[in-house]
A and B are shown apart, each in its own frame.
Chain A
């Protein structure tokens, strides 16, 4: 599976396109997530998307702390839900806070994949579709 880099950013950035479901499976959104190996979580979404997918209706009991590179922290809410990458489906924690505006995919997802960042061709290639979970 090859996904072209996002050219909205300059220089272009690698992205993963994931279909994120509501915990109840009745809603879903196909979204493009910037690949960020510095993000320790699974998937980070703006709170408007978190609400749209009703993720606050299946939340974990305790918010975690999200720490920026500047050492500032914010409360991060998270809920487990189903995510599709191509023909594979897996469970992943979706994180959010009202102060988040970007969509990121982090190491909880990336560490399950073999991904080739082909910079010269500006494509992200998922080398295997491992049976994830």
Chain B
């Protein structure tokens, strides 16, 4: 067999040129972007010096997209169009979130769920892409150049559909994904390199919406994941929600409207955070019917009502230990990751299980992004003196549907990636030229208990007697933990074609449409936002002027009226175009032209003695 030739690693990159690469922690509650500059990793702040970007996206009726703190502010006013914790919906179907209390309008369609907003129907992939775009923009502004790529972190326990959705979101945001990196592994890189640690460590990662545990062996320059486990539907959000239910109960309330529910959820989160440093906290809120909630919450009560959630994290830890063939005594240290690990009773439970206090010397909010930045730096080809090897695993077994709705495991969980496995199939009937294959992920025996990843149809199998065809199907899991499948008929060498129907992914057509949509708007996404904002502002001035003219037009003489009318016409004309600067200028001119008019209207209003009315009524 001919030898294949590959160039030396790093040679294709121009020497001595630092390539801009970032690590992105795309979190349920908050997202961060970090990079390595002059040898050390740091999170990049926004203009106000904040590194955390709330993973919140607001969609306006005028197609404006607001991300982060600004979107968070609209959460209480416009809950249905303010998407929070979208990560929970990635690669998920409607039935997966049926039990979750959310203010969203879901679109009932097979496959990945979609959200109906005033700005149109949004897939979780698009919402995540909007968060990623904001981070990409922040990084490019701050680093002053285009990024060659990004490492995006995902929960270790994310299945194939969730990983694929994350990668699709990055593509939509115009990011070149160097690697999908498991969050605990990223934390281990940051922690291990920072502390020059050796030995077996546990990373306990309780984020806003997901729980991961990974067991890693750190030896000189090698991070080897021995086992991983978790719960992709368990996180700080659940503690908030439990507390929310407790507040409702304590206040004797039942059903709330969306706005009040959102307000109380926010109060619940704040109370949870307050209990990190205090033994008691007061929960106060004024609801939309002016009724006031005022209840006291103690740390003891909080621990009691959320203890079952803490216990839910212990089972995956035990499972991971078992898979790694280790006991708690073999563990040298436990690293805590994720904001939810700030809860004192979570720390106590972890300390008790391992018989030692957990390590918390790195900021649990930042450690994942920092590790991702370090890995991105290496993957981009910026080789420093320190170099390391990362050996990660697939978190859930991959299997195939066999007779009777049972699953046969093809690649067991915790296999080191990349990995591949070939399986041979044969035909059931004479002359059969196609067969259907159903790929599943999970640990259970029944198809219905596992997650359906995809259905493949093998076509073009040469017609033979039953059992004569030998179809070899190869399942490949790459270094991102993503599955691909290829098939070949062995006796004839025919490459059978594969039709992939991802059960929860987006089809290539959908991705193509979203990409072309975002291309159309991209390039000048920022321009589009400026334009939309200018239009809104201009429209409100125009409308106010029109209303004023109708009501008090007699206050103006003919010349004055003509001047206002001209400014009005100019503003309306500018608004019909798409030059944001022109719109702003024309609107400003209208404002000036009607300044005098507004003052006279005010005088008239006052002289009429319309007491009790606010200035804004005019």
Whether A associates with B in a native complex is no
- B residues sitting closer than 8 Å to A (CB atoms) are none
- A residues sitting closer than 8 Å to B (CB atoms) are none
